[in-house]
Every structure is written in structure tokens, then in C-alpha cells.
Structure 1
Amino acid sequence: MSDPTPRDDGTGRTPSSSDESDLSARLKSLETRLDQASAHRQETEDPRPRPASDSRALGQAMRLSAEFIAGVMAGGVLGYLVDGLAGTKPWGLIVCLILGFCAGMLNLMRAAGLAKPARYDEKP
């Protein structure tokens, strides 16, 4: 696939056959090194089959999201009720939403195992 017409390579000289042979030798050397590296890589890789889907992970994600959303929703509803009863229009909702967010984060961390579970003192 070589072009029979000589071309100028930008240095003011035309490439000779020795330059082309040097390039082809370097190309062959590079190809052999790439083949060796890819063969070595395939040998060292651990071909572990990955499961198609993990239903436990999906269930845990749904549980964690429900824990967080429940805290925020409970805070919002409680704040709306406080505003309606006390007449403190935006402030009860704002404060209870912030408290609901904090409670949701705490429940989320407890469900994920990052925080200690709530203590229930059972005294007979």
C-alpha cells in the first residue's frame, strides 16, 4: 500500500527505502510487544463472572431511600399541622422540615449500619 511517488516529509528531504524499512521494523516490533502485553494481561486478569443483577442491593437501596423520605415527609406534615394550629405560617414548616431531614439522615445511617441503633431500655 505504499505510494510510488516520493513525498517531502517537511525536512526538505525525501524518505529513502532505508527509512521505510526502519519504520516497518519498528512497527513489527511494536506489534509483537503489544501482542505479548495483551497475552500477559489476559493471563493476569481474574475472570470472575458478575451476577446479572443483585436483588438484595436493590432492596437495600429502596429501604434506605424510604427511611430518608419518611423522615422528611413526617417533618413536613408535622410542620404543616403546627402552622395551621399555631398560626406561624412558614416557620413551623421550615423548622419541622429541618428536623425531619435530620431524623431521616439519622434513620438512614442507622439502617446502613453507620450509626448505633436506638437503645430500648426494657426493664421488667
Structure 2
Amino acid sequence: MAESDEDRMRALEARIAAAKSKAEPERKHMEEHYSQAQLAWRMVIELVAGMAIGFGIGYGLDWAFGTTPWLMIVFILLGFIAGVKTMIRSAKEVQQAAEKRAGTETQDGD
């Protein structure tokens, strides 16, 4: 009348598999949210890095030539422009990846 250990083990494995299959979609949503936050930080860092590099170059050239604020201002603006261009390139890259994923998902759904 008592169940054997093998039967209890199979039942336990089935319950574990059922619990894992229920948790799968929730994990996917968390990964997607994490990737969006990661993308936002990446873009912010790209913009700030461009401006910081521009500041460093401009400050160094101003110090070398004695043209105090002018080259620093010019290179900060150039760094800002470079940072924005890099952000746009990153956004296009992510958009193309999303379109590619959406295309494969619709093909899988057919």
C-alpha cells in the first residue's frame, strides 16, 4: 500500500518540472526589463564620455596655447555631438535587433 521511493521521486520530479515551466515567462520579462535599463545606462555613459573626452582635449589645448575657454567650449560641443551620434547608433542597433527578434517570433508562431 505504501508508495515506493521511485514513485515518490517521479512525482516530485514532475512537480518540480511543472513549477519551473510556470516560472519561465516571469524570468523573460525581468531579463527584458534589465536589458532596457542597461541600454539606458549605456547611452548616458556614451554621452558623458564624449563630453568628458572633449573637455579633456579642449582643456589641454587651452593650457598649451593659452586660449583659456575657447577651445574647451568648442571641444565640449564636439564631444556632445559625438556622444549624441553614438547614442543614435546604439538606438538603431537595438531597434534592428528588436525587429529581427520580432520577425523570428512571428515565423515561429506560424
TM-score, structure 2 normalization: 0.54
Q: Percent identity?
A: 34
Residue 111 (structure 1) shift: 1.1
Considering fraction of residues, name the structure with more helix.
2
- List gaps (5 residues or longer) in structure 2: 1-25, 94-110
From 46, 51, 55, the equivalent of 2:34 is 55
Letter of the structure 1 residue corresponding to residue 68 of structure 2: K
TM-score, structure 1 normalization: 0.48
What residue in structure 2 maps to residue 95 of structure 1?
74
* C-alpha distance in 1 between matches for 2:79 and 2:42: 17
- SS of 2:71's partner is helix
Residue 52 (structure 1) shift: 5.9
Asked which structure has the greater RCO (Cα within 8 Å, sep 6+), the reply is 2
- List gaps (5 residues or longer) in structure 1: 1-48, 115-124
Letter of the structure 1 residue corresponding to residue 66 of structure 2: G
What residue in structure 1 maps to residue 100 of structure 2?
none
What residue in structure 1 maps to residue 54 of structure 2?
75
Number of paired residues? 65
